[in-house]
Amino acid sequence: MDAENPEARAQYAQLPDIVCYSDTSSWNIPWKLNLTPWNKWAYNPTLREAIEDSVIEYPKGRDKRALVPGCGEGHDVIYIASTLGIPTTGLDLSPTAVERASSLLETTPEVPKDLINLKVEDFFSLKPEGEADKYDLIQDYTLFISIHPSQRLEWGRQMAALTKQGGYLITVVFPIDPKTDTGPPWYVRPNHYDEPLAGCFRKVVDKAPMKLPPGWPEGRQHLLVWQRL
Ligand SMILES: C[S@@+](CC[C@H](N)C(=O)[O-])C[C@H]1O[C@@H](n2cnc3c(N)ncnc32)[C@H](O)[C@@H]1O
């Protein structure tokens, strides 16, 4: 959906009444009601810009691992697995979102299905048991603004715990809108990622992306890529 159109705006305005950060099961409600204004019905072109228009050598191949927490319908999961040939896990709190991601996977041709693992799980419950259990690449598109701001430091600790040394974290910052005290989506600016990731990651990309979902205005997204120290 065009992020600027009145229908999308109206849907965003309803989310804080439907999703409550203290009740993680409430994330299933917008998916059941089809109240998902963030949905692009395709992978995010900014993710493509991060991976394909870059000098960074992203991990490739079957011996690496990628994670997309808060994957929703799974478009970005499919894009990462297909482009990098890397086993990719998509997880989401919402069973309905994961069901839709599974259907999308089944019906999308020429996708390396054996590389993709989709599951209903809370990002914060993941506990890597050793380096092999960590990820070479993680992508966060709007998980950060879906959790309550008081959880952002914990988000950063979890990203650090889950990323292999030298691995990458791609954060697509969205929506960059005027300040509100309600959410989701919770108020965000690119510098809000600095403190949670400080000391464990270095920022290697910081740019206004050129590639945006169709119809989306410039200035509402920002691309940050981080490397685990
Ligand atoms: C704004 S939506 C974005 C979904 C997806 N990234 C996309 O592009 O369509 C945020 C998603 O994060 C999920 N989510 C929120 N908190 C989560 C958590 N702690 N663990 C896993 N998923 C979570 C929600 O269920 C929701 O599907």
Looking at residue 167, which CATH number applies to its domain?
Answer: 3.40.50.150
Query: What is residue 182's predicted lDDT score, i.e. its pLDDT?
Result: 94
Give the pLDDT score at 2: 53
CB 27 less than 6 A from any atom of ligand 1: yes
Q: How many domains is the chain built from?
A: 1
Please report the pLDDT score of residue 6 as a whole number.
82
User: How do strand 66-69 and strand 88-92 relate by DSSP bridges?
Assistant: parallel
| Cα three-residue angle 223-228-229, rounded to 5 degrees | 130
- Ligand 1 centre and the CA of 27: distance in Å? 8
In a domain, 144, yes or no: yes
**Which residue has 């205005």 as its token pair?**
217
Tell me, in angstroms, the distance from the centre of ligand 1 to residue 142's CA. Answer: 7
**What pairs with residue 226 in β-bridges?**
169, 203
Does the beta carbon of 183 sit less than 6 angstroms from any atom of ligand 1?
no
Atom of ligand 1 nearest to the CA of 44: 8
In a domain, 7, yes or no: no
Q: Which of 176, 189, 186 is nearest to 218 (CA)?
A: 176
Q: Is residue 142 part of a domain?
A: yes
Token digits of residue 27:
């994330």
106, 136 contact by CB (below 8 A):
no
Residue 164 tokens, joined: 């292999």
State pLDDT tens for residues 171-226: 999 999 999 999 999 999 999 999 999 999 999 999 999 999 888 888 999 999 99
Inside any domain, residue 140 = yes
State residue 128's pLDDT score: 95
Confidence at residue 213, expressed as pLDDT on a 0 to 100 scale: 86
Decide if 45 contacts 213 (C-beta within 8 A).
yes
pTM exceeds 0.85, yes or no: yes
Q: Tell me if 128 is assigned to some domain.
A: yes
220 CB burial (10 A radius; 0-12, 13-18, 19+): middle
Residue 209 has what pLDDT? Answer: 96
Question: Which residues span the domain enclosing 153?
Answer: 43-228
Predicted confidence at residue 8, as pLDDT, reads 82
* Closest residue CA from atom 11 of ligand 1: 70
Task: Answer whether residue 24 is part of any domain.
Answer: no
Residue 80 included in any domain: yes
- 88 in any annotated domain: yes
Q: pLDDT in tens for each of the 229 residues of the chain?
A: 455 678 888 888 899 999 999 999 999 999 999 999 888 788 999 999 999 999 999 999 999 999 999 999 999 999 999 999 999 999 999 999 999 999 999 999 999 999 999 999 999 999 999 999 999 999 999 999 999 999 999 999 999 999 999 999 999 999 999 999 999 999 999 999 999 999 999 999 999 999 998 888 889 999 999 999 9
